[in-house]
Structure 1
Amino acid sequence: MNQFSELGLSQPIVDAIAEMGFEEPTPIQRQVIPKLLEEETDVVGLAQTGTGKTAAFGLPLIELVEESELYPQALVLAPTRELCLQVSNELAAFGKKIKQLRITAVYGGTDISRQIKELRRGTHIVVATPGRLRDLINRKAVDLSKLSFLVLDEADEMLNMGFKEEIDEILENTPEDKLTWLFSATMPPEVRRIANDYMLDPLEVSAGKPNTSNANIDHQYVMVRRHQKYDVLRRFLDYDPDCFALVFTRTRRDAHELAEQLVKDGYHADSLHGDMSQAQRDHVMQRFRDQRLQILVATDVAARGIDVQEISHVFHYNIPDDLAFYTHRSGRTGRAGNEGISLVIANPKDRGLLRNVERRLKIDFSEAHIPTGEAICARRLLHEVRNLKEIPVQESLETYVPGVSEELESLSREDLIRKITALTFRGSLKEYLNAPDLNQKGGSSGRDRQDRRTGGPMERLFINVGQIDLKSKGDFLRMICDEAQITGSVIGRIDFRAKHTFFDVETDVAETVIQRLGEIELDGRSIRVNRDGGGKFGGKKGGKGKRHGGFKKKSSRGRSYA
């Protein structure tokens, strides 16, 4: 029996819900729906994203509007175009067995004249973004004077996005005797102000505590050096073949650059940020919903309203400054009863912020284990083998089987398995063979580890010289050997980047390298060398960094390496 029938909903709506595959209401739905159907009261509903808030207010709305009266009886305000469309589509699905029901979505980024025509044809429920609705009000294209119900969906997000002025103006254009239903994941002071100013003795319903996180989300963190963040992200992505992830960055530039790097490394990834047109945003979001993208890299504002049920992981490339952002970020996973992982990729300086998030949001973080190269290889290999087992064999191929069988009959079963394993490792997994363990003490700085090339204990050093100064790793290696007066045999891995480089040297010569390289200059710019983690990346302010510049001792003329 479908348990929605116990909440007081009519049979057409219960049937529509059943066809959508929903049988058991979520806690917020079970608490709110009977109240909204039975009592004429304002309501404040507090629940995390992904807990079924849309149905909690949407089902009563559809039940309560009069189909015979073709004017806006209900208004739902949503913070973003994506959420506006999502709510509109869900309401249409809930009410699909009520033929006369009309729902109109109005939002920015599209032709306003088309939306005006649709409103003038008549509608029962308007779902809108604040900016576009205010524009329609000013054009006198929508009449809210007979409104019976107002829903503020994701109220905290709307205020975080700066819609306070628009919300106030819209509310002033609605009748005083309407019922207002406010739904929010958190309850900051501005949301409380709206409740106090525009609602009459609201009934407050909470599914879980406000400002806390969804219980279906496993909150994890790893502590790594800043330059290791990308490698660590890739390890988690590569360890789970079914990973479907949302990665949050602080800035638009970070989102764009991180997505570009992921694409270069063979991932199906794209970015979502404020510099994109609405058409570009829609295209990216559709690819993500269809899972043609494995990874979406987004800023906090750009990702508002994303509701994709199957997201398995949310990665925080940084800890957000506003703790409410963490709630909204992590709430993109663990939706609709599914379980999800929210993982913070932090550096040692973030420990205080992490403790603050844990204390304020009542979250218990557990430290995650960064997958080792061996673990990634083993897991991905088994995944590929399972896929091989599931490949259907077409009858038309049977004619080729005897020839293939004859070609392989000289191989034993064990040899064939080894060949398949070797073939699998010819791809991206090859880089994980003998890869270092990033779970070492101190955020895996690389200090005192055994280098597989030199055989001795190594230290990882930073130098503010990179690709803009030298053409290749070979030039870099020659410069290090010449200036530090060491041989290449004591140098291990070289991570050669645009403006700086990380490189491993044997512990016995590390101090000598630091001292001698610190005595040279490049185009009048001092060269800075320190152990990994000793300062910000990049050279000192004012360094020219010309590609063909010459290195020289501070007290004497040096050699050119480019």
Structure 2
Amino acid sequence: MNSFENLGLSEAILGAIKELGFTTPTAIQEKAIPVLLEGRSDFVGLAQTGTGKTAAFGLPLLQLIEPDEKIPQALILSPTRELGIQIADDLKIFSKNILNLNVVNVYGGASIDDQIRKIRRGAHVVVATPGRLLDLIRRKAINLSKVEYVILDEADEMLNMGFKEDIDSILSSTSDDKLTWLFSATMPNEVRRISKNYMTDPVEVTVGTANTTNKNIEHQYYLMNNRDRYNVLKRVVDFYPDIYGIIFCRTRKETQEVAELLMKDGYNADALHGDLSQVQRDRVMRSFKSKSLQLLVATDVAARGIDVDDLSHVLHYNLPDELEFYTHRSGRTARAGKKGISIALVTPRDERRVRDLSRRLKMDFEQVKIPNGEEVCERQLLHFMNRIKEVSLEENNIETYFEAINGELADLSREDIIKKFVSLEFNRFWDYYKNAQDLNMRSSTQKRVRQNDGAESTEDRLFINIGRKDGIDVPSLLNLIHKQCGVRGKNVGRVDLKGVFSFFDVSKEFTEEIIKGFAGAEVGGRKIRIEVSGERPTESSHRKGRPRSDRGDRSRGSSDRSRGGSDRGKESFRDRRRKNNDSSRY
């Protein structure tokens, strides 16, 4: 087994990392550190999130710095403030035994004047976000001409966040003689372009397989109706009483809403997103790292730089749009060799994306049954029992009160005392979950799984006589339903689009409202007809005459299409969509 002592690091650095408890380097550290210590070549390091990339470049970088030269010798670019703060803090710890070595962190949201003063006092290593660094360059507050090493950390994420032009501008202001070290979890084409444009014959080290996730992460998904999303989230959190994790949302608005709902329901949660001030972000992160918060609800961008070794779960409130985002999200857990669980909340229409992620990331997703109310209560009760077993006894302090306690409980048997004591915790969950419905769904071609197979469905399957050939897609159909009836997409379940007609599921409470809302409505001059469907016919069976009452309209629709009416319908509907630019999302 290799050790840090065999990698060529100085005694000063070895002493610092020994105090941190580091004994064995990770794979990327073992492969990268000896190469980087030579200080002769550009370098590309590809490794999964959470594998110790900061130490992989930070330890050799600190050893190559000349503390007597009080000018910026190294520049580290980070996509976010949080990641920059984490890198700077780590470097300061690693260099604690190196006299007069100064690491300065610059980022937006903090006083630029204070940062300028720190740079002018002598900065050897500058850790910066692209936007703030460009501001400093424009003010001529920093000189990068003597920088010998440029490190692009999380390069794929910087490009995902739209920093391509900023990176180009920054790199062009540095010396042609510098060495460039690029570290990334994935290697998309834009990252490859940077390596070709700004690096010369780089040494490339890949740990594991590019664009894959940590093997210590268990990937699961829950299949549910979109309108149940928050309730499923609560049930998952309740099923894991010791959960310590991050809930990822797509937008800042959704992040804040989910966090507020969780806090309102009594969970130790808070939000982290770009609309918060730096003071607010720092407060949230301090609380989360100290475990005062159990759940952090965050956007993809804001969560970069969260370096917590013992996160148990990552929850995807919605699946991300990009493959790389899923890799970065799930990589927040299972760090430092530990295990972790990544859970995605998925609707039937998202199942294809789950399969695509599984194929492209070369890993398995397990569909897990959403726990029912009894299972949640049982898990919580056992957790409570374990807490009782592990509680430390302060016998000397509590002994004073034993006589009074025994007097209060004199009329109760031992069994009654145990039952009442347990019920203090158990009743809270039982009252909430005793009548909880099954939130599971089967596949995209099946209805909801119910605890009682004979139970009546709470949804109706509606038929509407427009489809893909009318220029309809799922978002436009949801938009049309909202416009005509006021029913938002979150209340609509699975949508099946066909060529000339469609089906969608909706809660029974909205069925009559939707049918009335479409009364007299037209698309492209064709009257919209909507009705409850008792079955899910195929398109071919529909052309044979089912539902029977639609034969007349269907034949007229065919006549219109033969005269080009369908094309006019598409144009009219798209024009109406442009005029009715509804920003609501399902």
Instruction: Give the TM-score taking structure 2 as reference length.
Output: 0.77
The equivalences for 1:358-397 within 5 A come to: 358-389=358-389, 390-393=391-394, 395-397=396-398
CA positional deviation for 1:140: 1.4
CA positional deviation for 1:376: 1.7
Distance 1:404 1:53, change over 3 A: same
Distance 2:514 2:353 in 1: 38
Distance 2:193 2:74 in 1: 22
3-state SS of the aligned residue for 2:458? strand
CA positional deviation for 1:178: 1.2
Distance 1:251 1:165 in 2: 24
* Partner amino acid, structure 1, of 2:227: H
Does the alignment pair 1:29 with 2:21?
no
Distance 1:426 1:415 in 2: 15
In terms of mean alpha carbon deviation, does 183-192 or 254-263 score higher? Answer: 254-263
Partner of 2:316: 316
Partner of 1:220: 220
* Partner amino acid, structure 2, of 1:459: S
Distance 1:228 1:8, change over 3 A: same
Distance 1:404 1:346, change over 3 A: same
The answer (yes or no) to whether the contact 1:445–1:532 under 8 Å persists in 2 is no
The equivalences for 1:521-560 within 5 A come to: none
Does the alignment pair 1:142 with 2:142?
yes
Distance 2:257 2:105 in 1: 34
3-state SS of the aligned residue for 1:101? coil
Partner of 2:495: none
Partner of 2:205: 205
Partner of 1:457: 455
3-state SS of the aligned residue for 2:270? strand
In terms of mean alpha carbon deviation, does 61-70 or 523-532 score higher? Answer: 523-532
CA positional deviation for 1:393: 2.5
CA positional deviation for 1:397: 2.7
* Partner amino acid, structure 2, of 1:458: E
Partner of 2:151: 151
Distance 2:514 2:244 in 1: 49
The answer (yes or no) to whether the contact 1:463–1:500 under 8 Å persists in 2 is no
3-state SS of the aligned residue for 2:169? helix
Distance 2:422 2:100 in 1: 61
Partner of 2:43: 43
CA positional deviation for 1:520: 8.2
The equivalences for 1:423-438 within 5 A come to: 423-438=424-439
Distance 2:392 2:534 in 1: 47
Distance 1:532 1:21 in 2: 65
Distance 1:447 1:353, change over 3 A: closer
Give CA-to-partner distance per residue, 1:62-113, whole Å, 9 cap, x none: 1111112111111111111111110000000001011221111111111111
The answer (yes or no) to whether the contact 1:461–1:529 under 8 Å persists in 2 is no
Partner of 2:557: none
* Partner amino acid, structure 1, of 2:456: M
Distance 1:321 1:533, change over 3 A: farther
Distance 1:255 1:441 in 2: 28
In the comparison of the two structures, how many residue pairs are matched?
494
Distance 1:12 1:401 in 2: 56
Distance 1:92 1:458, change over 3 A: same
Distance 2:456 2:427 in 1: 29
Distance 1:531 1:8, change over 3 A: farther
Distance 2:285 2:223 in 1: 31
Partner of 1:234: 234
Distance 1:442 1:420, change over 3 A: farther
CA positional deviation for 1:305: 2.5
Q: Tell me the C-alpha RMSD between the 2 structures.
A: 3.3
CA positional deviation for 1:461: 2.8
CA positional deviation for 1:408: 2.4
3-state SS of the aligned residue for 2:181? strand
Partner of 2:121: 121
Distance 2:146 2:55 in 1: 24
* Partner amino acid, structure 1, of 2:91: L
3-state SS of the aligned residue for 2:32? helix
The answer (yes or no) to whether the contact 1:158–1:164 under 8 Å persists in 2 is yes
CA positional deviation for 1:344: 1.1
The answer (yes or no) to whether the contact 1:445–1:533 under 8 Å persists in 2 is no
The answer (yes or no) to whether the contact 1:448–1:458 under 8 Å persists in 2 is no
Partner of 2:479: none
Distance 2:534 2:45 in 1: 49
CA positional deviation for 1:240: 1.3
Does the alignment pair 1:350 with 2:323?
no
Give CA-to-partner distance per residue, 1:453-478, whole Å, 9 cap, x none: xxx732213699xxxxxxxxxxxxxx
Identity %: 52
The answer (yes or no) to whether the contact 1:26–1:52 under 8 Å persists in 2 is yes
The answer (yes or no) to whether the contact 2:82–2:302 under 8 Å persists in 1 is no
Distance 2:514 2:200 in 1: 73
CA positional deviation for 1:179: 1.1
Partner of 1:271: 271
CA positional deviation for 1:371: 2.1
* Partner amino acid, structure 2, of 1:403: A
Partner of 2:249: 249
The answer (yes or no) to whether the contact 2:39–2:64 under 8 Å persists in 1 is no
Partner of 2:562: none
The equivalences for 1:291-310 within 5 A come to: 291-310=291-310
Give CA-to-partner distance per residue, 1:456-514, whole Å, 9 cap, x none: 732213699xxxxxxxxxxxxxxxxxxxxxxxxxxxxxxxx999989xxxxxxxxxx89
Structure 1 unaligned residues grouped into runs of 5+? 465-496, 503-512, 535-540, 543-562
The answer (yes or no) to whether the contact 1:47–1:208 under 8 Å persists in 2 is yes
* Partner amino acid, structure 2, of 1:131: G
Distance 1:523 1:356 in 2: 36
3-state SS of the aligned residue for 1:403? helix
3-state SS of the aligned residue for 2:388? helix
Distance 1:193 1:267 in 2: 45
CA positional deviation for 1:293: 1.5
CA positional deviation for 1:135: 1.2
Structure 2 unaligned residues grouped into runs of 5+? 463-486, 493-507, 522-528, 537-578, 581-586
Distance 1:519 1:371 in 2: 32
Partner of 2:416: 415
Distance 1:501 1:78 in 2: 40
The equivalences for 1:496-507 within 5 A come to: none
3-state SS of the aligned residue for 2:100? coil
Instruction: Give the TM-score taking structure 1 as reference length.
Output: 0.81
* Partner amino acid, structure 1, of 2:417: L
Distance 1:533 1:370 in 2: 27
The answer (yes or no) to whether the contact 2:248–2:298 under 8 Å persists in 1 is yes
CA positional deviation for 1:136: 1.0
Distance 1:302 1:533, change over 3 A: farther
Distance 1:422 1:173 in 2: 67
Distance 1:26 1:2 in 2: 9
Partner of 1:330: 330
Distance 1:519 1:199 in 2: 60
Give CA-to-partner distance per residue, 1:19-46, whole Å, 9 cap, x none: 0111110000000001111351110000
CA positional deviation for 1:120: 0.9
The answer (yes or no) to whether the contact 1:213–1:331 under 8 Å persists in 2 is yes
Distance 2:427 2:534 in 1: 32
Partner of 1:287: 287
Distance 1:402 1:81, change over 3 A: same
Distance 1:189 1:170 in 2: 20
* Partner amino acid, structure 1, of 2:275: D
Give CA-to-partner distance per residue, 1:204-233, whole Å, 9 cap, x none: 001111111111211111211112222221
Partner of 2:191: 191
Distance 2:122 2:228 in 1: 57
Does the alignment pair 1:70 with 2:63?
no
* Partner amino acid, structure 1, of 2:431: K
Distance 1:170 1:275 in 2: 26
In terms of mean alpha carbon deviation, does 19-28 or 283-292 score higher? Answer: 283-292
